[in-house]
Structure 1
Amino acid sequence: METMIMTVGTSLLTNRDENLEKKRPWVGQKNIGDRKIAIQWMSEIDPELISAETNTIWRLNPNFHDEILLLHSDTPSGLECAEVLKEYLESIHHQKDVSLHPIPGINYDLDESASALEKMAVLLKDLITQSKGNITLAATGGFKAQTMIMALIGNTFKIPVCYVHEQYKALIYLPYLSDTAEPQVLIKLANLPESGLDRSQIIRVQNNSYGHHRPKVWKKVEKMLQDIPWVEYVRFDQNAFSAPKNQIKAATRKTGDGRHIFWIHLYESEEKKMAVSVETTGYTPEHLEQATKELRERLGRLI
């Protein structure tokens, strides 16, 4: 089980939708208003385009029973956005465990004080202590001071902190810093059976005439997959384009003998993109959860 602790801002309310044909019904209003209309609109729009928070959750791809904690500013607009997001996750994505947590004293005025950010740090520590699963801190939503606090707490507790990088359209993980200020990679390894195959044989992506269309990051991803002992085979798969750009997604099918498969969609431009399926040695729900977390974080540190 995973616990995702996420800061929530007001992009759900304030995004202007310049490039959307069907704009949010509350554009230009001071509040979202009718919840039924809001949820209906959100159900018809790509999660990547709804808000910073839905974009992040879509990429984290939680299971139905994962714990999602939404930290919102202690303001009417912050609470409204968090409440609508909670209802959307429960009614449209069928999440079973979503809760709201106001950040004491934090708002979007110009008088934020150090004491308010200290209260956020205390709240985060308490939530981490009380969490039900393996924790990921998601810092895309909210304002920059909140991201800084999440980064500090994540580094202290050695908990992964991620956010969506708009330029690369990818879920990025912040590095850990040691006492010597050197970045560290502290990824919790999945406990899956080892493949036993020669690692030079698992990549079945042919060096064909389409090689020049591959994103530059592919070489790094290829080495990453070879180094993971529970990866069995890697092949081209058009279905993997359904995964978020530069992200993974559990495939909708398994191997013939019941092993889990992941899809990876690498994207640099419309001319340079590729999609691969990754067969694993895992076959239990626990294997799927562990492999998802490791592979997602490894990829997020490469992009």
Structure 2
Amino acid sequence: MSDTMQVFDRAAKRRQRQRVAAKAADYDFLRAAVAERLLDRLDDIRRSFPLALVQGCDAAWLQTHLGSRGQIERIVSMDSVGGSGLHAVGDEEFLPFAEGKFDLVIALLNLHWVNDLPGALIQIRRVLKPDGLFLGAMLGGSTLSEMRQCWLAAEAEIEGGASPRISPMAETLDGAALLQRAGFALPVADSDIIPVTYTDAFSLMRDLRGMGETNAVLTRRRTFTRRATLLRMAELYQQRFAGPDGRIPASFEMITLTGWSPHESQQKPLRPGQATHSLADALGTMAHPIGGPLKPN
């Protein structure tokens, strides 16, 4: 969309991920943990999905994590970066599939890099069949909060200002509203923190580079980071957050999105005035007119 705010350099992000694609399996611990959580959600849904679209990983990778789960019969895999095992290469904001094609869409850690998140969710709903399910996981605003604090402090101290080092991310409270805006029924968003510990900040940065999760904000600094700033950031990280064993924590917030493509069989809320039981009866208390006096039971 022409009026979409451009926050991320999508071309730079594709280049970053393409450079590390050959060794992606060495750094997939976070993706594997998130996939397991998503598939656990799928286990709670007692129905089959003949055709599923999976964004963010290839079909073979996901198949190894499906184990004995039998809900998904066929998988079409898509990513913005080409590679073996993929059925399609495409942009999350412009899905190259027909309307109403899939029974299930899974988005695995790819939506936090799109500029038009509402548009990407609309695209997902478009390719779902009526009563089709969307399951998505994306990194949320609390991700790498420790490193974010230390970068800001180090740059302010050494360079007299700060530049965007870690990308802005959605908050959990926005998730259900975005799903509803995109036309999903029964929208749910929740979050979970996945804690990881490292020997030092440099080990964390190596993992982020290996996962293809390094900075791709359009307004990022385009020159090399000063050595003094980098060392000060690492020093502050150790001073502020190291545990008794000397290891530092890194928080990854996973926001899980769940929504259904609308269908007439789905439950719908009653219109005002149609309820057959009052909230007061359910709570075992008394109802009073608005503005009226309160009376003890």
TM beyond 0.5: no
- Tell which structure's C-alpha radius of gyration is larger: 2
The TM-score normalised by the length of structure 1 is: 0.31
The TM-score normalised by the length of structure 2 is: 0.32
Tell which has more relative contact order, 1 or 2 (C-alpha 8 A, sep 6+).
2
